[in-house]
Amino acid sequence: MDYYAPTGVHKESLLVSQVSRTLEADIRGKFLQLVQWFNGHHRAIVALSGGVDSSVVAAVANLCLGDNALGVSANTATTPVEEIEAATDIAKKIGIAHRIIVYDDLANIKIVQNQPDRCYHCRRELSSELNKIAVEESFDLILDGTNADDLNAHRPGAVALKEAGVRSPLAEVGLRKSEIRSIAKALELPNSERPSNACLASRFPYGQLITNIGVSRVAQAERFIRETSGIRQLRVRDHDGIARLEIEKNERKYLFDEHLMNVIGEKLHSLGYKYVTLDLIGYRTGSLDEQLEKQTTPIHLKGFSESESQTQ
């Protein structure tokens, strides 16, 4: 599918009308709002993680702005290798210009200390890097893939992005995760059903220091389990040397094999884990936020409701 609308061709023709016909009415309306959201804008940077949310933003930005859209992916100490690979692949599929920036987020003591506001400092640093490109190359927009569901979860990073002037068109038009996957499928994006991922810093309980050794160990453990078992959605939570495996509920059965459990246990022991455990509840996003008495939930903060966002 060609994601680029040639100059002079109305955006609601060609691909937009083709995609719209495949969507249910309520999702179709939001998709058209997303396309119209770009009216009046000229040059945009999209923070492209490789996940489905930022991929949809990148695809629509490329459709609307063509060569004036740029996908930028941050390759840091806490970025899973698979995310950079996925971002590179999806950029090629979409046809959007793509750039990878490299910096060491673990040089930031606020991130290493891993307090509940860690994501604020991470996103603040990312915003700073993206703003440098925007200023130097005259981009008038910096976009990310925050969606409407994210506004109801612990997301201090969203606050940092908003303070830096980063816009979140998916959230602003009220698109939720399931709807975004439907749009990605209609756009024929190869990652429309790709499991969500997060930076490797999210594998460590708040207050536990994040180190290069710890991050590398988690990355190796998750990669080994995926390659050995075929499980697609998992997290290895590192509780100071104890590996707690969170597996998608409908995939837990893949571990009910004595030989496989032995192989995984031995591998994780070789990586330095003292104990290897299986979380019987299974994978859930933000499980380490469950311990927080107070969460930073954007929807409850000024300027983050969908109605307020749509007036920006």
Neighbour tally for 74: CB within 10 Å: 23
Judge whether 186 and 19 are in contact, CB under 8 Å: yes
* pLDDT tens-digit map of 125-178: 999 999 999 999 999 999 999 999 999 888 999 999 999 999 999 999 999 999
List, as own/partner pairs, every contact residues 197-201 make where C-beta atoms lie below 8 angstroms and the sequence separation is at least 24, other chains included: 197/49, 197/50, 197/51, 197/80, 197/82, 197/83, 198/285, 199/76, 199/78, 199/79, 199/80, 199/122, 200/78, 200/79, 200/80, 201/78, 201/105, 201/111, 201/114, 201/118, 201/122
How many contiguous H segments (helices) and E segments (strands) does the chain have? 12, 7
Residues 91, 203: Cα–Cα separation, whole Å: 27
Q: What is the greatest pairwise CA distance in the chain?
A: 62
- The string of pLDDT tens digits covering residues 237-274 is 999 999 999 999 999 999 999 999 999 999 999 999 99
Give the chain's domain count. Answer: 2
* pTM tops 0.85: yes
User: pLDDT > 90: what percent of the chain?
Assistant: 82
Unique residue bearing structure tokens 């409908």:
250
The answer to whether residues 204 and 183 belong to one domain is: no
Q: Residue 167 gets which letter from DSSP?
A: B
9 assigned to some structural domain: no
Q: Are residues 87 and 30 in the same domain?
A: yes
Helix, strand, or coil (residue 134)? helix
Question: Which CATH number covers residue 79?
Answer: 3.40.50.620
Burial zone of 267 (CB within 10 Å; 0-12 exposed, 13-18 middle, 19+ buried) = middle
Kindly list the strands in the beta sheet with 275-278, ordered across the sheet, starting from the edge strand earlier in the chain.
234-239, 242-247, 275-278
At 248, which CATH number?
Answer: 3.30.70
The pLDDT assigned to 11 comes to 45
Give the count of alpha carbons within 13 A of 212, CB side only.
7
Q: Residues 182, 23: contact at Cβ < 8 Å?
A: yes
* Portion of the chain with pLDDT greater than 70, in percent: 92
pLDDT tens column, 189-241: 999 999 999 999 999 999 999 999 999 999 999 999 999 999 999 999 999 99
Q: Compute how many other C-beta atoms are within 10 angstroms of the C-beta atom of residue 45.
A: 23
- Considering just the CA atoms, what is the radius of gyration of the chain in Å? 20
Query: Are 243 and 103 members of one domain?
Result: no
Predicted confidence at residue 294, as pLDDT, reads: 86
User: 81 and 19 in one domain?
Assistant: yes
Whether 28 and 133 map to the same domain: the answer is: yes
In a domain, 5, yes or no: no
Q: What pLDDT is stored for residue 7 in this prediction? A: 47
The domain in which residue 19 lies consists of 15-195+295-309
Name the burial class of residue 240, with classes exposed (0-12), middle (13-18) and buried (19+) by CB atoms within 10 angstroms of its CB. exposed
Q: Which of 125, 118, 177 is nearest to 151 (CA)?
A: 177
In a domain, 211, yes or no: yes
Residues 92 and 172 in one domain: yes
User: In the predicted model, what is the mean pLDDT of residues 2-11?
Assistant: 49
Do 185 and 205 sit in the same domain of this protein? Answer: no
Tokens of 231: 């499980």
Collapse the DSSP code of 46 into the 3-class scheme (helix H, G, I; strand E, B; otherwise coil) and give the result: strand
Q: Domain for residue 3, yes or no?
A: no
Does 169 lie in the same domain as 30? Answer: yes
> Does residue 182 sit within a domain?
yes
Asked if 25 and 164 sit in the same domain, the reply is yes
